Structure 1
Amino acid sequence: MRLPKLPAIGIGAPRLTGANLRTPLRTLGPGSVSSLLKIALDVAYVLLALITGVLLLLWVASIFIPLDNINVTVTDGDNGRQMPLTRPLLLFGVGAMTAYFGGFLMILRGLRKIFRTLTLGDPFQPDNVRRLRQIGLILAVVTGGVWLAQGLVAARLAPGVMEPQGISDLLTPVFSILVVFVLAEVFREGARLRRESELTI
């Protein structure tokens, strides 16, 4: 005995094609990865500006606050050395931290402007070349300042407790600085090609 055939109800499984499986990940323009990174940079910039402002106020206050019978412990791992907190030492320490955070604040300021052009979908602008060069220069100054400050602390303030940074400790920062300057040249070449294409249209 054969069972009767049921009529088709017209519902079929959807066919998955390559176009359906691809989810485009935009890197430039509104709603892209660049716009998300721009938001993260904005938040980091505000936080770093607040930290730098607080440190600057603390540096000004350290000129007037009394420092009687206050000691600090300088340590590098297991070893430590206690020494009186003098006003020059306090001004040097707070000033160095303020300069450190201020340098990275300027770097974030340049990055925010660069990512703003990425969000607009127009990265190859001459201003971005200048911004990248400024970022590389600031990064070089901050790296050199940290290296000199740590060497000064190790030699003058805590001899035998802290070790100064060696040349090998500069390899990674120097490599990062060179990468930034190479990116600046890439952007400069992109801006030149864009200008030539605009002139030929």
Structure 2
Amino acid sequence: MSSLLKIALDVAYVLMWALTGLLLLVLVASFFIPLDNLTVTVRTERQLPLTRPLLVFGVGSVAAYFGGFVLILRNLRKIFRTLTLGDPFQPENVRRLRQVGVILAVVTGGVFAAQMMMARIAPGVLSPQGISELLTPVFSVLVVFVLAEVFREGARLRRESELTI
């Protein structure tokens, strides 16, 4: 089962890299695209002028979002590699899980901040997130950190058992 999940992670990792690379190309191109008289239609009844800062902010935010998930998938692939080898309780996996938790927290905070900024830039188009909408992502971050501590304890017990004769 873990080898099947590792294959799925490998495929997702390659796809995320491709998508992030494409978004970075679009980000660079957004500095050079002429934006004269371009508008964005929002909710089929409202049109906003498309400005360069808005375009760069939007594309940059989406690129950063997917880039964060590329980093998460990279760490998960390394964890699954040790799992398929039959030795998941390694100190490196504890570090990797903590990195996943930090990246997930940064991505969650970034999405929250971007939605707050967009709600101020285009009032009525996006509503800012409430605290209740952050419960699931914050809970997910906490679960990852708890899992890292479980792996840390597993690595300690493995080290202890290796020293026992």
Q: TM-score range by the shorter chain?
A: over 0.9
Report the Cα distance in structure 1 between the residues aligned to 2:133 and 2:66, rounded to whole angstroms: 20
Report the Cα distance in structure 2 between the residues aligned to 1:50 and 1:114, rounded to whole angstroms: 22
Report the Cα distance in structure 2 between the residues aligned to 1:80 and 1:108, rounded to whole angstroms: 39
TM-score normalised by the chain length of structure 2: 0.97
Displacement of 1:80 in angstroms is 4.6
1:196 is the counterpart of 2:160: yes
Report the Cα distance in structure 1 between the residues aligned to 2:131 and 2:45, rounded to whole angstroms: 24
Equivalent of 2:136 in 161, 172, 186: 172
Gaps of 5+ in 2: none
TM-score normalised by the chain length of structure 1: 0.80
Aligned residue in 2 for 1:48 = 16
Query: Which is greater in Rg?
Result: 1
1:183 is the counterpart of 2:147: yes
CA contact (8 A) 1:140 1:177 kept: yes
Displacement of 1:133 in angstroms is 0.2
Q: Which amino acid aligns with 1:52?
A: T
Greater fraction of residues in helix: 2
Runs of 4+ residues deviating >6 angstroms:
none
Aligned residue in 1 for 2:111 = 146
Alignment of structure 1 residues 119-138 onto 2, 5 Å: 119-138=84-103
Equivalent of 1:91 in 35, 41, 56: 56
Q: Which amino acid aligns with 1:56?
A: L
1:38 is the counterpart of 2:3: no
Gaps of 5+ in 1: 1-32
1:114 is the counterpart of 2:79: yes
The secondary structure found in structure 2 opposite 1:46 is: helix
